[in-house]
Amino acid sequence: MALLSSNFESFGLDIGDRSLKAVFIRKKGTSYALESHCTVDIPEGILNQGDIQKPDELAAAIRTLFGAMQGKKLTTRFAHVCLPETKTFIKRISINPSSSQELPANVRDELPNHIPIEPDDLYIDWKILESDEEKRITSVLVGAIPKTVSDMYTDVLLKAGVKPMSLQVEAESILRAILPSGHSIKGAVIILDVGAVRTSFICFDKGTIQFSVTLPFSGESLTSQIEKTLRLTHAEAEKAKRICGLDPNECKGELIDIIKPTILDFGQNIKRNNDFYEEHFTDARPIDTLILCGGGAYLKGIDTVIAEVLPNVKIHIGNSLVNLAKSKTRMTGKGKEPVTFDFLEKAYPREDYNIPPTLLMRSSLNYTTAIGLALSNVL
């Protein structure tokens, strides 16, 4: 769902509190090829939880992307851009319209029951998911963002020389990268995008997002714990986290006692949101699959620890390159049957994907949102 959109050849731009990520994808025969990518770190304080604190410095950081792209040179300035998850709203809601003509007004009237902002102060987009004429209930997926936030991001993008073709809710961009296009999905799925400063929890069922929420868990919080406990520098703590993780065979298992309690709390938070969905959404199906993406998914053993809290849920590390496979059919089948995510249990070599040699397989999950945005250009 793009709150504002147009169609031009364009790249994906993910604006985060600590980094900018850009990806360009082009159609290649019957598949898609990632041709350009880049990550630019931005100093702390330019953005804070999605709020732009220093617009001129953010615009300058965005401009550096054009000369820093790896792979092929980026020739377009049109972009699909992600709006901050902390500032957006996306949820399936049910309404009782008396006619199709009244549906837009009904959506606006229902929104105050779900978001504490006046509809006149929001940009709103929505689409019908299903209608039950007998019960006179229409299910609608609604996306909204405060106009002040959207306008601020648009102003910064234009100042940086970027022409925004769409402003997208982060959850939809993540799903576009992680879920194989052309397939229906078997069962209810949680997608967790574990980032540097926060985690996005996305509940996906019956072909659509049911709701998304931001969780207070991040890679930076774990690094800070290690830094303070072991009295390391921040760089040393980050390196220790990456090398050792929760692996008892690495670093004598020294980090396990430090960070495992936090990850167990994270698992409990996931479980609470699971339970909320199953208890409060009509016809909700039990969630049987969880997919980890974002840079935090690379933490050794994170899936095993979460499984201690969610023993009945199959946990996978995601694959943000699945829609860039040279033969997606070989990985996921022809799409006639619902995908079961078994393909995530096998590590496919980089030769199976249309990606440049400059993109490291280990860093691909860091680009999940940017890849999903870039796929808007071709899907």
pLDDT of residue 189: 96
Return the percent helix, strand and coil in the chain, to nearest 5.
Answer: 40, 30, 30
Asked if residue 84 has pLDDT above 90, the reply is: no
Number of helices (H) and strands (E) in the chain: give both, helices first.
Answer: 10, 17
pLDDT of residue 99: 65
Angstrom distance (rounded) from CA 300 to CA 41: 24
Token pair of 43, please? 């100093």
282 or 236, which is more confident: 236
Asked if residue 363 has pLDDT above 60, the reply is: yes
User: How do residues 136-189 score in pLDDT, each as one tens digit?
Assistant: 788 899 999 999 999 999 999 999 999 999 999 999 999 999 999 989 998 899
The mean pLDDT of 5-25, rounded to a whole number, is 87
Q: What is the CA radius of gyration of the chain?
A: 21
CB 156 within 8 A of CB 55: yes
pLDDT of residue 130: 84
Assign 28 a pLDDT band (cuts: 50, 70, 90). confident
The percentage of the chain sitting over the pLDDT mark of 90, rounded to a whole number, equals 69
pLDDT of residue 97: 75
Q: Nearest CA to 19 among 377, 295, 352, 342?
A: 295
The architecture CATH gives domain 2-223+257-377: 2-Layer Sandwich (3.30)
pTM for the complete prediction? Answer: 0.92
Q: Spell out the domain ranges in the chain.
A: 2-223+257-377
The mean pLDDT of 209-231, rounded to a whole number, is 94
